[in-house]
Amino acid sequence: MKKWLMMITAAATMTLVAACGDDNAEEAQEETAEEGHAGGEAEEMPEPDLEDVPDVVAEVEGEEITKDEFEQVYTAQFQQAAMMQQMTGEEIDEDALKEQVAEGLVSEKLLAMEADNRDMEASEEDVDQLLSQLTEMNGMESEDEFISAMEEGGMSEEELRNELANQVKVQQLISEESGDTEPTEEEMQEVYDEQIAAREDAGEDSETPEFEDVKPQIEQQLSREKEVQAAQDLADELREEADVTIHI
């Protein structure tokens, strides 16, 4: 259960933990399922190799990133990569993926520490709002149902709310760093033109959407990308001054 929270944090900060996008994973899963039905039997999914993962994966300013934390995120990322492998046939480089996940968790830890250093605060209202979003994202009918599911997975309501508060504070940090992320009309038009050109190159024969119809999605995409870049730039800056040791 905790990996839901960890992955959402990673997505919010857009560290390397979230390198494989959820949309790609879902698309890969759907196509793999279709291939399985067509061929009569789906290819068996590979299992991640976790034997060489140490009990302490990394240390950041004296704080540990544990094997348990790492494995939850790594397993989720491995599963996404495995689905992509079934589509493309490209082998998973587990050593590279482990390094990528470890680096992402370090960046996440550094951002959380910086949020505390800047005295970011998360109100009960902020936490409740995020809890409501998580409940909806996971297809549950109520916050109580979501909390119960988390408790069954070993996370108490207090731990859950503390984790959500940390996520709120990190998002505040990212917003402070990124400033105004609203894209210009020219930036949105450029992305639209690139997407249309890509469709044409791929030979897609479906009806081409009008710019105004997809503008809200492009605006959200570009705004998100600016936040992502700000988060990564800050994480890189913090990393230069931080005492970090990675054991993978």
167 lies in some domain: no
Q: Do the domain assignments include residue 213?
A: yes
Find the domain containing 35 and state its range.
2-118+183-246
| Residue 147 within a domain | no
User: Please, which residues have CB within 8 angstroms of residue 184's CB and are 6 or more apart in sequence?
Assistant: none
b/e for 71-95, b at 16 or more Cβ within 10 A? bbbbebbbbbbbbbbbeeeeebebe
> Which residue spans within the chain are E strands per DSSP?
56-60, 63-66, 244-246
Among 85, 103, 72, which Cα is nearest to 28's? 85
Is 22 among the domain residues? yes
109 domain residue, yes or no: yes
pLDDT on residue 145: 92
Greater pLDDT, 30 or 162: 162
β-strands 244-246, 63-66: how paired? Answer: unpaired
DSSP secondary-structure letter at 208?
P
Domain-located, residue 146: no
Q: 160 in a domain, yes or no? A: no
How many domains are contained in the chain? Answer: 1
Which of 26, 58, 27, 29 shows the shortest CA–CA distance to 42?
29
Joined together, the tokens standing for residue 130 give 């995020």
* Tens-digit pLDDT profile for residues 68-123: 889 888 988 898 889 888 888 888 999 999 999 999 999 989 999 999 999 999 99
Q: Is residue 149 part of a domain?
A: no
For 169-195, how does the pLDDT look when each residue is reduced to its tens digit (9 = 90+)?
A: 999 999 999 999 999 999 999 999 999
Contact 127, 165 (CB under 8 A): yes
Position 155 scores a pLDDT of 83
- The C-alpha atoms of residue 231 and residue 15 are separated, in whole angstroms, by 8
Check residue 42 and give its pLDDT. 54
Mean pLDDT of 132-160: 87
Tell me, yes or no, if the pTM score tops 0.85.
Answer: no
Adjacent-strand bridge partners of 63: 60
